[in-house]
Amino acid sequence: MRELLTYLVNGLAVGCGFALIASGLVAVHRVTGVVNFAQGMFAVVAGLSASWLLGTGLPHGLSEVAAVLIATVTGLLTGLLAIGRRGTTPQSSLIITLGIGVLAYAIEIFVWGDQPRSFPGLPGSVTLGGVGVQRQHLLVIAATAVTFLLLTAFFGRTYLGKALSACASNPYAARVIGIDVTKMGLLAFALGGLLGGVAGVLVTPLRPISFDTDVTLIVNGFAAAVFGALTRPGLALVGALLLGVAESMAAGYGYAAYQTELALGLMLVIMVVQSTRRGPVLEETA
């Protein structure tokens, strides 16, 4: 039972990392209609930056904040390349984000090398229900909860958040009322960079990160985001937590080599069941 609880908490923490990646994907897709396959790269850039900044002697806290800012600027630059040119279709933008993700490998290797990097997170552990839980795991879970609450409040309650949602809902109408849809898209990419950055600095102390870690992150984050239909952050969070827990359980019970495949297989089954349930409802409302 203790093992199960330990794997569960570990899985929730890992799932929270995927959830932050997924929330970035959802934020960009909601506003621009673009699936940003460079989203995992933002986490990698933040993780590597934080590790490097700590190595230069910058204190904890400041290093992580600076790394998140670097990821935010990276998000903005990615947005400029992906949607900055008027008339670029979401499909073309998707290909551009894939290209940026590949190009980023070369830059990351040039700047930080090809070896995995990490840095110490919150030290120590606390006992919950008789189970020792790393403080860093709790930090990841708490930070993700706060981030999702803030995101929900931002999109649901603020004027800017509603304007961003309006761009996704009807870009033509948004332009009619004077909203600059491209600027809003760039803002969404910057937000995606910020969320990816938060994921990077939180997850790197748990799992060393290297230039190609973005593949694991984007595959899991994308699966979670699709679970939320690329538009619903709450469902994406549920999907990400399911993935994280499934991976942790698989690794804990001796299937570490197949943890990603098992988790994604489970997610696929859930999505197939979901779609067969949704089918008749869609037909009724069509």
Partner 1 sequence: MNESDTPPEPSRTGGTIEVTDLVVTYGSATALDHVRLSVRSGEMVALLGPNGAGKSTLADTLSGILTPRSGTVEVGGRLAHIPEGRQLFPDLTVEDNLSLGGWRSRERDPAFVFDLLPRLAELRKRRAGVLSGGEQQMVAFGRAMMSRPDVLVVDELSLGLAPMVTRDLAAHLVALNREQGLTVLLIEQNARLAFGVCERAYVLEAGRVVAEGPCAELAESPRVASAYLGGSIEETQI
Task: List residues binding partner 1 (CB under 8 A).
Answer: 159, 162-163, 165-166, 169-170, 172-179
With 0-12 CB in 10 A as exposed, 13-18 as middle and 19+ as buried, what is 58?
middle
Task: Give the nearest distance from C-beta 259 to partner 1 in angstroms.
Answer: 37
Pick between residue 164 and residue 217 the one whose CB is nearest to partner 1.
Answer: 164
Shortest Å distance, C-beta 68 to partner 1: 29
Query: To 10 degrees, what angle do helices 62-83 and 2-32 make?
Result: 40
| CB-nearer residue toward partner 1: 33 or 197 | 33
Please tell me the distance from the alpha carbon of residue 76 to that of residue 193, in angstroms, as a whole number.
7
CB of 155 to partner 1, least distance (A): 11
Distance, in Å, from the CA atom of 125 to the CA atom of 115, rounded to the nearest integer, reads 28
Tell me the closest approach of the beta carbon of residue 162 to partner 1, in angstroms.
5
One-letter identity of residue 43: A
| Whole-number Å distance between alpha carbons of 53 and 92 | 35
Minimum Å distance from CB 30 to partner 1? 10
Name the residue nearer to partner 1 (CB basis): 132 or 156.
Answer: 156
C-beta of 187 vs 209, nearer to partner 1: 187
Q: How far apart are the first and last CA of the chain?
A: 48
Kindly give the interhelix angle for 90-112 and 39-55, rounded to the nearest 10 degrees: 20
Nearest to partner 1 of 174, 206 (CB atom): 174
CB 106 within 8 A of CB 99: no
